[in-house]
Structure formats: structure tokens, C-alpha cells
Chains A and B, each alone.
Chain A
Amino acid sequence: MNLLNTLTWWQWAWLGAVPVAIVLLYFLKLKRQPLEVPSTYLWSRTIEDLHVNSIWQRLRRNLLLFLQLLVILLLAAALLRPGWRGTQWIDHRLIILIDNSASMSATDEPPNRLAAAKARALALIDQMASGDVGMVISFSDTAQTQSFTESRRALRRQIEAIVPTNRSTDIREALRAAAGLANPGLTRLENQQAVNESLPATMYIFSDGAFPAVPDFPLGNLNPVFFPIGRPATENLAIVAFATDRNPEHPERMQAFVSVANFGREPATVVLELLLDDQSLDMVELTIHAGDQAGWQFDLPDLDEAVLKAVLHHDDALMLDNAAYAAINRPRLARVLVVSSSNEWLRTALSTDQVRLIADVTFAEPELLADAAHQAAAAAGAYDLVIYDRCQPAQLPLANTLFLGSLPPGEAWKSGPPGGPPTIIDIDRTHPLSQLVDMSSVLIAEGRPLQPPTGSAVLFDSVAGPMLAIAPREEFEDAVLGFPLLVEAQGETVQNTNWPRRPSFPVFLYNAVRYLGGSRGVSTVASVAPGNPITLRAPAHVQSLAVKNPRGEIRRLERTGQAPFAYTDTQELGVYQVQEGQLDPITQRFVVNLFDPRESNLQLQSNLELGHEAVAGQASPEPTRHELWKWLLVAGLVVLVFEWYVYNRRVYL
């Protein structure tokens, strides 16, 4: 039972004056017409028996006053709107699913959709009777599941703890979590009941419905109830794509491409601004039809490194998607040493423009291996990648290595006797080293099947055995090609294979420089969706990275093995800065952008498709409040009628 005040204090003051006025009017005696009668004997006897009980008589005398005061009291009570919460929505087991994806940050439902969803969920919690159990699941593209509890306070706390995310929406994980608690175990053993007793539960979904339909999900015991959160026709404009690239016509220049979508029902004209390092660079006015997209291409000067930001100057319900970020990283050239005795094929393949963009390649003769200065430099990690062509160092350098026709020193790598021709029959196309490499037309005269150490991966497999394998060595990796490009025969150097004439050879070497050299090109970093992990590459000698998110929080990543760094904490939209080591300058940046038309589309879904049924949105998700004011008003009217009756029937005074 609670009250809703409907009047301001001065209105209450007026209402409070009414009973006072009634009482005052009662003090003013009724003016009566005097009439002379023969005798009041009979009249006084007539009303005599009404004066038997004086207290009751006084009450009866003032009955009208009391009735009028009662009417006022009832009216005042009706104005207070007493009522109590309805209970018809409540099941005994309820699972509350609250969408906290990016679209729930829309402000069409003030203050925002998530707050509205939380408020309604809290209202639902208020209706729980004792003994009811509830569970809260917040979901975006992942689901945060809490356990069933009877404690309403715990449920309230869990609901209040839900924070908005910038993620996209996928209800499936949440549904699986809910179904796991409501439905019998899916992996049921023979002749054995499910371990957990599964009971039917009502699943209350507080969402804007901006997620793909889940038609193939078996709901089982779950009874879904959908409360759409948000206004039906909510306008929104969003940047759905923002990319930078080299201008294909003028390779020395860069260009940025922005795509803006209008998810509303009215055409809109907006100003799109491009900022470079927070300085306005360009501005354009775009007119976008309803449900359409418009793109614009900005020409940029040649930039080594920069942070670009595209801003849509439009006041709409969702501000998250009105800004997009792009970063251009300084190209970091891989330091590559090629130890080869006049292998022109190699020199040619490593001198392409593409390689030059990502690597600084040094060529040296095998005699260098004996040089002490070189040995010291190699041991200190002066290179990222050393390619040994038919030669072998005394000690492996602190760098990734690629051996062409020779084996790394030590006992780890072994090879079989030379044989041929080792026709390549299988390629691991998923490995970065061997992807896009086509060996189908490559002829190889002679090769030695490799016996790589444990933990290695075979990339080329031939009829004779592994021809290309890669194996980790502490934090580095060694790749070994089982056949040389050139062989010495009768004092002459002859080709062992026609691979260098094939297009796949420079591709392989480019892969090697790119993967083993750990370099990045000039090209911009692809944007990451919020919450998705990103793989960060760093030179082989770098042991740790520091990532600074847009809010300025720094997180350290330690290298584990040779695996590239994986950064998962990409909740915030914006530019992330990566530092190698402790105090080094920023070496690279990456950006997190929403770029999700489904989240940006704020049109409210009135129905959900879950399982095989369409769940209609509850038109009035507000839990019904049982109002009392109508009955109070009716009671007031009844009292008024009674008062009128008494006034006409009264036989005293």
C-alpha cells in the first residue's frame, strides 16, 4: 500500500480549508422562521423522544457535519491515490533478462533505455512474494549470469549494478543460461535423471529487441515475456563506416572514407566533421534519406601517424555512434638480415616495393657469421628476422629465423637423407607464413624431409615428408625450408627449383618478413568492435606492452611464448595507444568503433522471435497498480447521497 500525491502544497492548503469552513458554517446557527403556535406542547413531545440519549443525540445532531467532513476526507484520500502493486505478472520463478548493449544507451526513454529497463525490472522485483526466486541476467553479445536467489535485496543490487556497454546484442548466450536453469539437462545420462531439478520459469526480457531473431532455440519450460524498452519511432543517425587508406591514384596521399546511415523515418541533413589530432580538418554537409546511407571521401595529406576522428553534428537519441575513430600508425620496418651467397632470386624477391614498405632488409655474405661484432649484435637482438640461405650460424640469434635449405644448429632439428623430387602435396593455408602461397606448379629437384622438434607445425608437406615447418624457440620461432633454392653441382650453382619464378615465391617471402619480422605496414589498423579481442604484434624482442585505453587507464600485457599479444579489454569506444616496454613512445594505436547498424537502428521491435513463437511485447510493461481512488470517490458519492437523505429525513433540531 502506498500513496501518490497529486496535489501541490497550496492545493492541499485549499482542501484543508474546506473542512474548517464546514465546521465554521455549523457554528453559525441556522436562521429559523419564527411561527406562533397555540402550544408547543405536542411539538416538544414529538421531538422529545429524540433527546433521550444526549451524547448520541449530539452526534446525531451533528450527523450532517460528520457526513460532510467524511465526504471531504474521502475526497482527500482519493486525491492521495492510494493503491498497491498488482501481482499478476509474477511467476514463482522469474528470470530477468536485461539488455545492456550499446543501443540501450539511447536517451529516447529518459534518462536512457537501460535505466528505464532497470526501473521496470525493479518494479517487478517489488512484486515478488516471499518464496519466489529470481535471477538476473544482463546480456549484450555475452551474458552475465547471477544465481537464483530469494533475496529481493540481492536481486535489486544485481539489477542496480548493471552498467551500459558498447557491445552489440546477441541474446543466445543469455537464453542458453536461462534455459540451462529452466530446462532439463541437455546431456542426460542413460537411465539417470537430470542432476538439477528443472522447473518452469517466466523469463522477463527487458530489451529494445535490437538483436537477430533466434528461431531455432528450444524454449522448453521457459515462458518468455517481452517488455519493449524505448519509443517506437526513434530517429538516429550513425557513422557506420570510417576507414583510411592510401589514395590509389596518388599513393603519396591518404584518404578517409566515412559512411553515414539514417535510421529514422525522415530525411536528415547533417554536418560531418573530420578532425585530425583534435583539430578540425574538413567539414561537409550531407543529406541522407530515411533508411538510406551516404558516404563521403575526405582527401588527406600524407600522414605518418595520426588520430582521425569523424564527428556527426546531429542531436539524436544515441550519441555513441555519432563519432568514429581511425588511427594511422607510423610504419615500423622490420629489421631483416639475409645471409646468402649471391642468391639473386632472394635479393630480387626481397627488394619489392611491398617488402620495402614493411622491412629494412640487409644482405650479407655467410662470412659475416664468423664476425664477432655480428655475433654480438645477433645475440643482443639487433634483428627481427634473420634468413639463412644454405648456411648455419654457430648459435641461434635472439631473433626469428628462416632457414632455406639448411638446418638450425643444435639437435632439435633433423632431416632425412636427400631425395627427390619432393612434390608438395599439402599446404597449411591458415598459417600466416604459408597463406596465399600456391605451390601447385612448383617443381623441386631435390629436398630433405624435415624432422622438426616437438611442438612445431608442418606448413608444407611433400611426398617425401615435411618440407616447411615452423617451431617455437623460447619467445622466437624458427622456420625451416627443407629444400634449397640453389644447389652446387659440378662447381656451378644451379637451380634446385623453379619456385623463384612463380608468383608464390615473393608472396612467401613477404609473408615471412611480415610474420616473422613482426612489422606493420603504413596501412591503418582495422577497427575492432567493442568487446572483441585484438591481436597486437610487436617485434620479437619486445617482452611487454602497455595499452592505454581512451579513458587513460593503462593495462600491461606480458608476452607469453611467441604468441602475439592479445588485448581483450576493448569496451570503450575510441583510440587505444600501445607502448612497447616501459617508457617508450607510442608505437601503435588501434581504434574501437561501434559500426553496428543493428545497434544504431533505434526503431523499437514490438515482437521477438524466440524459439518457434513470436513473443509480443507487453503493451503496458508497467506493473499494474491497483488504484483505490475510484472506490473512494464512489464511497464519497454514497456518503453524499446518504447525507442528502439524512438532511431530508432528519426529524430533529
Chain B
Amino acid sequence: MSAPHDTSDLLSPALLARLERLELVSRKIFRGRFKGERRSRRKGQSVEFADFRTYVPGDDLRFLDWNLFARLDKLFLRLFLEEEDLHFYALIDASTSMDFGEPTKLHYAKQLAAALGFVGLVRADRVKVEALSGARRASGPVLRGRRSLWRMLEYLDGLQPGADETNAPLAEKIRNFVLRHRGKGILVLMTDLMDKQGYEPALRMLLAQQMDLYLVHILSPEELQPDIQGDLRLVDAEDGDVTEVTVSRPLLDRYRKTLGAFVQGAREYCTRRGMAYMLASTAVPVEDVVTKYLRQRGLVR
């Protein structure tokens, strides 16, 4: 299978090289379905010794330390560090509103998802990349192993903004995801949070899952520093809603203030609930985001 033509578009070889040295970190203990390459905090079955503890009836006799019983005539249980795999979810908001900016926010999200997914694939984690959609059947591929990189990129390439009910409200899309994925793991949500019904219900639903949550809030420079003039009728790309504005300096100031409040509100909402929040401007290269910012946030190391 030849490399997809847009591999370098989403992930440059240089970035791939840098990403190979990284791994995903979970702040919580997860239980994977397969033994993974990572040490879990759970004590389990592995070759790596962790600790002893006294036997209590019901424990697996296989883990009794017979040597110690022989020497001390007491029953001790040998505990081993369990190595397990990690469930990594990269959720992309593929609504029409993401199709703006240069590069588009959606493309940016794809890049980010590809980069993080690659990190997970390299470390043999269970990676699932999915575009949020209101449709039940829509589901991204479950990937594992470096060889799945191409499938992941293929899937990402196939994502079209606004297609397949991706313009449904965020809360509905999240619920749709949550219903299908009960597992634990790391979840990175890449969205612009532009939902007129508010992002809070959607995030609350995610918080109910015991996942390690990361929110990458992607905004384009056009949204952060709008450069528009005159009397305009602003048309919402998703629902066609119209807002008439006469652009003036005070209005832009007020917009910036509103934006600041919006970003700050989202940041506070996430921080208070143990969710990692990161604002990403599409002007910042994905490499920097992954290798610097997310590293600082502790998602990768």
C-alpha cells in the first residue's frame, strides 16, 4: 500500500520523526483490553515486580510467594506491575463552522488528531479517531499499531465539513459518542465550541465518563482578530442565521471582550472540572502545539 498522497499534508516526515519519541500519558488508571506497552498503575500480571502484601482468602493462589512462605511460614502475595494498552480517542468537530481559516480549523484539527493518533499508534495504544456526528452509524476506525497510520490518515482525509449530520448540536453529537463508547482512556476533543446552545451540556456529558479529557479549542486568527469593515450582514455558515453589524472600533473592542470572556469561561469551566483546556490558534503550527503546549499540559511526554 502506497503512502497516501496527503500524508505529508497532515503529517510531515519531520514531525513524524519527532512524534515517534513521544508517548501519550494518562493521569488516570485505565484498564485496557489487551496488554499494552505501558505500565499501568494497576498491579497485575507482568514480569515487573511491584510489591508484597499479606494474603487474604480469595486471592489468586498463583501469585503466592512460595519461597517466602517457606522461609517465614506466612502467606504473602506477590504483586506485579501490570502493563496495559491505552484507549485514545481523538474527536474532531467537523461542523461547517470548522471549515474556516487558512488553514481551515478542520484541517488543523485533522493534523492535530493525526499527530496525536500517530503517537498513540507508535506506542501500541488503542487509537480511535472520529468526527463528531449526530448520526448513530457514523463511527471512526479503531486503530492499533504503526501500520494503521495509513488507515487513520485515510479516514481523516475523507472527512468533509458539514457532511453526515456533523452540524448537529455539540451536545447531541457528544451524547451520540458517549453512548457508543463507554470505555475509559484519553479523550481529546478538537472543536471551536461555536454552539449556540452552549458547550456546557456537551462537556458535562463527557465529564461523566471517567476519561482523561483534553479540550483543544481551535480558533482561527479571523475569529481572534477579525479584520472586517463596513456595514455587514453576517451570515452564519451553519444555520444561516443573520446578524447585522456596522463594524466600528468600539464594536471590535466589544467583540474582543466577548471573545475573551468566552474563552475564559470555557477555560474556567474545564479547569474546575479537571479537564485540560488549550486554546489553539490555527496560526500556531501543529508541531509546536504537540511538542510544546500539549507536552506542557502533560498529554504527551
Given A40-B241, A43-B255, A46-B251: A34 and B235 within 8 A (CB)? yes
Which residue of the partner chain, among B196, B220, B254, contacts A46 with CB atoms under 8 Å? B254
How many residues on the A side are at the interface (Cβ–Cβ under 8 A)?
23
Interface centre among A33, A36, A46, A650 (most CB of B within 10 A): A46
Residues in B with CB closer than 8 Å to A42 are: 194, 223, 255, 258-259, 262
Interface centre among A39, A44, A45 (most CB of B within 10 A): A39
Given A30-B231, A32-B233: A46 and B255 within 8 A (CB)? yes
In the complex, the answer to whether B250 meets A47 with C-beta atoms within 8 Å is no
In the complex, the answer to whether A37 meets B255 with C-beta atoms within 8 Å is no
A41 to B237, CA, bound (A): 11
In the complex, the answer to whether B248 meets A650 with C-beta atoms within 8 Å is yes
Q: Judge whether B83 is part of the interface by a CB distance below 8 angstroms.
A: no
In the complex, the answer to whether A38 meets B244 with C-beta atoms within 8 Å is no
Q: Judge whether A58 is part of the interface by a CB distance below 8 angstroms.
A: no
- The residue of chain B having its C-beta at the shortest distance from the C-beta of A34 within the complex is B233
Residues in B with CB closer than 8 Å to A41 are: 194-196, 236
Shortest CB distance B263–A (Å): 10
Q: Judge whether B242 is part of the interface by a CB distance below 8 angstroms.
A: yes
Within 8 A of B (CB), among A40-62: 40-47
Residues in A with CB closer than 8 Å to B259 are: 42
In the complex, the answer to whether B262 meets A37 with C-beta atoms within 8 Å is no
- The residue of chain B having its C-beta at the shortest distance from the C-beta of A37 within the complex is B234
Residues in B with CB closer than 8 Å to A37 are: 100, 234-237
In the complex, the answer to whether A35 meets B235 with C-beta atoms within 8 Å is yes
Shortest CB distance A33–B (Å): 5
Q: Judge whether A653 is part of the interface by a CB distance below 8 angstroms.
A: yes
Shortest CB distance B111–A (Å): 18
Residues in A with CB closer than 8 Å to B284 are: none
In the complex, the answer to whether B235 meets A651 with C-beta atoms within 8 Å is no
- The residue of chain A having its C-beta at the shortest distance from the C-beta of B223 within the complex is A38
Q: Judge whether B243 is part of the interface by a CB distance below 8 angstroms.
A: yes
Q: Judge whether B98 is part of the interface by a CB distance below 8 angstroms.
A: yes
In the complex, the answer to whether A33 meets B233 with C-beta atoms within 8 Å is yes
In the complex, the answer to whether A38 meets B192 with C-beta atoms within 8 Å is yes
A414 to B172, CA, bound (A): 156
Residues in B with CB closer than 8 Å to A39 are: 97, 192, 194, 196, 236-238
Bits for B93-126, please: 1 = Cβ < 8 Å to A, else 0.
0001111110001000000000000000000000
Which residue of the partner chain, among B236, B245, B250, contacts A649 with CB atoms under 8 Å? B250
In the complex, the answer to whether A40 meets B243 with C-beta atoms within 8 Å is yes
Which residue of the partner chain, among A35, A46, A650, contacts B233 with CB atoms under 8 Å? A35
* A interface majority secondary structure: mixed
Interface centre among A41, A650, A653 (most CB of B within 10 A): A41
A35 to B228, CA, bound (A): 9
Q: Judge whether B230 is part of the interface by a CB distance below 8 angstroms.
A: yes
A40 to B236, CA, bound (A): 5
Residues in B with CB closer than 8 Å to A44 are: 241, 243
Q: Judge whether B12 is part of the interface by a CB distance below 8 angstroms.
A: no
Q: Judge whether B67 is part of the interface by a CB distance below 8 angstroms.
A: no
Q: Judge whether B232 is part of the interface by a CB distance below 8 angstroms.
A: yes
Shortest CB distance B160–A (Å): 16
Residues in A with CB closer than 8 Å to B255 are: 42-43, 46
Residues in A with CB closer than 8 Å to B244 are: 32, 653
Q: Judge whether B225 is part of the interface by a CB distance below 8 angstroms.
A: no
A45 to B236, CA, bound (A): 13
Shortest CB distance A651–B (Å): 5
Shortest CB distance B161–A (Å): 10
Residues in A with CB closer than 8 Å to B258 are: 42, 45-46
In the complex, the answer to whether B250 meets A651 with C-beta atoms within 8 Å is yes
Q: Judge whether B271 is part of the interface by a CB distance below 8 angstroms.
A: no
A32 to B229, CA, bound (A): 11
A649 to B230, CA, bound (A): 13
Residues in A with CB closer than 8 Å to B264 are: none
Which residue of the partner chain, among B105, B222, B234, contacts A40 with CB atoms under 8 Å? B234
Shortest CB distance A504–B (Å): 117
Q: Judge whether B139 is part of the interface by a CB distance below 8 angstroms.
A: no
Shortest CB distance B12–A (Å): 26
Bits for B258-277, please: 1 = Cβ < 8 Å to A, else 0.
11001000000000000000
A40 to B246, CA, bound (A): 14
In the complex, the answer to whether A648 meets B235 with C-beta atoms within 8 Å is no
In the complex, the answer to whether A43 meets B243 with C-beta atoms within 8 Å is yes
Given A32-B244, A38-B98, A38-B220: A651 and B233 within 8 A (CB)? no
Which residue of the partner chain, among A34, A38, A46, A650, contacts B246 with CB atoms under 8 Å? A650
A38 to B93, CA, bound (A): 13
In the complex, the answer to whether B237 meets A36 with C-beta atoms within 8 Å is yes
Residues in A with CB closer than 8 Å to B234 are: 35-37, 40, 43
Shortest CB distance A623–B (Å): 51
In the complex, the answer to whether B251 meets A651 with C-beta atoms within 8 Å is yes
Residues in A with CB closer than 8 Å to B238 are: 39
Given A649-B250, A651-B254: A38 and B245 within 8 A (CB)? no
Which residue of the partner chain, among B97, B228, B232, B243, contacts A38 with CB atoms under 8 Å? B97
Within 8 A of B (CB), among A43-99: 43-47
Residues in B with CB closer than 8 Å to A47 are: 243, 245, 251, 254
Residues in B with CB closer than 8 Å to A32 are: 231-233, 244
Shortest CB distance A174–B (Å): 73
In the complex, the answer to whether A38 meets B235 with C-beta atoms within 8 Å is no
- The residue of chain B having its C-beta at the shortest distance from the C-beta of A649 within the complex is B250
Residues in B with CB closer than 8 Å to A36 are: 234-235, 237
A651 to B196, CA, bound (A): 22
A34 to B235, CA, bound (A): 7
In the complex, the answer to whether B248 meets A651 with C-beta atoms within 8 Å is yes
- The residue of chain A having its C-beta at the shortest distance from the C-beta of B242 within the complex is A40
Interface centre among A33, A38, A43 (most CB of B within 10 A): A38
Residues in A with CB closer than 8 Å to B101 are: 38
Within 8 A of A (CB), among B4-41: none
Residues in A with CB closer than 8 Å to B222 are: 38
Given A35-B228, A39-B238: A648 and B100 within 8 A (CB)? no
Within 8 A of A (CB), among B194-244: 194-196, 220, 222-223, 228, 230-238, 241-244
- The residue of chain B having its C-beta at the shortest distance from the C-beta of A33 within the complex is B232
A283 to B98, CA, bound (A): 113
Shortest CB distance B273–A (Å): 22
A33 to B101, CA, bound (A): 20
Interface centre among B195, B223, B258 (most CB of A within 10 A): B258
A34 to B255, CA, bound (A): 19
Shortest CB distance B92–A (Å): 15
Shortest CB distance B73–A (Å): 71
- The residue of chain B having its C-beta at the shortest distance from the C-beta of A32 within the complex is B233
Residues in A with CB closer than 8 Å to B250 are: 649, 651
Residues in A with CB closer than 8 Å to B246 are: 650, 653
A330 to B195, CA, bound (A): 126
In the complex, the answer to whether A45 meets B262 with C-beta atoms within 8 Å is yes
Interface centre among A30, A35, A40, A649 (most CB of B within 10 A): A40
A318 to B262, CA, bound (A): 91
Shortest CB distance B235–A (Å): 5
A209 to B96, CA, bound (A): 96
A46 to B223, CA, bound (A): 13
Residues in B with CB closer than 8 Å to A653 are: 244-246
Residues in A with CB closer than 8 Å to B245 are: 43, 47, 653
A651 to B244, CA, bound (A): 11
Q: Write the residues of chain A forming the contact surface with B, with a CB cutoff of 8 angstroms.
A: 30-47, 648-651, 653
Give 7 nearest A-B pairs by CB, closest first.
A39-B194, A38-B97, A32-B233, A38-B100, A40-B243, A40-B236, A46-B258
Name 6 A/B residue pairs within 8 A (Cβ), A-sorted.
A32-B232, A35-B232, A38-B105, A40-B242, A42-B259, A45-B262
Contacts A38-B97, A39-B237, A45-B258 supplied; 14 other A-B pairs, CB < 8 Å: A32-B233, A34-B233, A35-B235, A36-B234, A38-B101, A38-B194, A38-B220, A38-B223, A39-B192, A42-B258, A43-B245, A43-B255, A47-B243, A651-B250
Q: Write the residues of chain B forming the contact surface with A, with a CB cutoff of 8 angstroms.
A: 96-101, 105, 192, 194-196, 220, 222-223, 228, 230-238, 241-246, 248, 250-251, 254-255, 258-259, 262
